[in-house]
Amino acid sequence: MTATDPLVSTEWLAANLGKPDIKVVDATSKLPGMLPLPKDDYLAAHIPGAVFFDVDAVSDHSNPLPHMFPHPEQFGRDVGALGIGNDDTVVVYDSGGWTAGPRAWWMFLSFGKDVRILNGGLKKWVAEGRKVESGQVTPAPSTFKAKFDARRVRSMQQLVANLSSRAEQVIDARSNERYQGKVAEPRPGLRSGHIPGSLSLPFNNLFNAATGEMKPLEELRAAFVGAGVNLDAPIVTSCGSGISAAVLTLALYRLGVENPALYDGSWTEWGAADGPPVATGPV
């Protein structure tokens, strides 16, 4: 079983905001080409004291795939530059559509730091009339020592091997239309469809669009079971580029699933023209 539920409420954050050991992180991300840029949204309005965690910057720049996990040394250096140390209590949020808050959470967890996620994100915070500020926050640097836990991430080679072994269930967080191959991928040059044998559970089925809050545990459990997932067997999550898959990973973690791994390259890697086999149609 997993430990403490990572989610915290807006009420909790409001009561603890400003304490020296509470570090707030805006991790909002968007698909390529969407404007305004996430950093510009952050500069326009963010929770007071929040720093900006750029998932594209905190990544392996030697890899042509988008925002792949960096080496531990880089993660520690980049996070330390945000003023975050190993002993701080970190609260991550995004714009409210679960756009990279869970990805940042999973990265922190994979590098040895248990952090929290603001349920509902900035959307709920603003809807409640809570204070925001604009401009850049430049904290004093801190020291963060990262240690990577490889169990939490899967490579394409591991997923290819899984095609025959089926040792792990693969769950696709993209829309069902993308999963079935009915629509073109938003990133040009990618094939349409899904990893053979994978299951479909669009990530937006796991939260309330009106409030931005993740659904109750019993509804999360029903969503996975309804998608054909065996919660007692090993699970890997996947999506377009390793961002929304973490929403599924977070929900599984909250349900007590042990180490639900994430396929970092996801469809951006698998769906390449020279990639592994692709399936289309429904589950």
- Residue 23 in contact with residue 83, Cβ under 8 Å? yes
Quick: pLDDT tens for 138-182. Answer: 999 999 999 999 999 999 999 999 999 999 999 999 999 999 999
* Greatest extent of the chain over all pairs of C-alpha atoms, in Å: 53
Q: What is the pLDDT of residue 32?
A: 82
0.85 surpassed by pTM: yes
The tens place of each residue's pLDDT in the chain, 283 residues long, gives: 345 799 999 999 999 999 999 999 999 999 888 999 999 999 999 999 999 999 999 999 999 999 999 999 999 999 999 999 999 999 999 999 999 999 999 999 999 999 999 999 999 999 999 999 999 999 999 999 999 999 999 999 999 999 999 999 999 999 999 999 999 999 999 999 999 999 999 999 999 999 999 999 999 999 999 999 999 999 999 999 999 999 999 999 999 998 899 999 999 999 999 999 999 999 8
Catalytic residue (one of 91, 239, 243, 261): 239
Q: How far, in Å, CA of 101 to CA of 172, rounded?
A: 18
Q: What is the pLDDT of residue 235?
A: 98
Q: What is the pLDDT of residue 191?
A: 98
Task: Point out which residues pair with 92 in neighbouring strands.
Answer: 25, 117
Distances (CA, A) of 180 to 113, 136, 168, 205: 36, 42, 20, 17
Q: What is the pLDDT of residue 220?
A: 98
What burial letters (b/e) apply to 122-133, b meaning 16+ CB within 10 Å?
Answer: bbbbbeeebeee
Going by C-alpha positions, the residue among 108, 91, 109 that lies closest to residue 26 is 91
Catalytic residue list contains 84:
no
Residue length of the chain: 283
Going by C-alpha positions, the residue among 56, 137, 39, 142 that lies closest to residue 94 is 39
Q: What is the pLDDT of residue 1?
A: 37
Residue 135 CB-density burial (10 A; 0-12 exposed, 13-18 middle, 19+ buried): exposed
Q: What is the pLDDT of residue 3?
A: 55
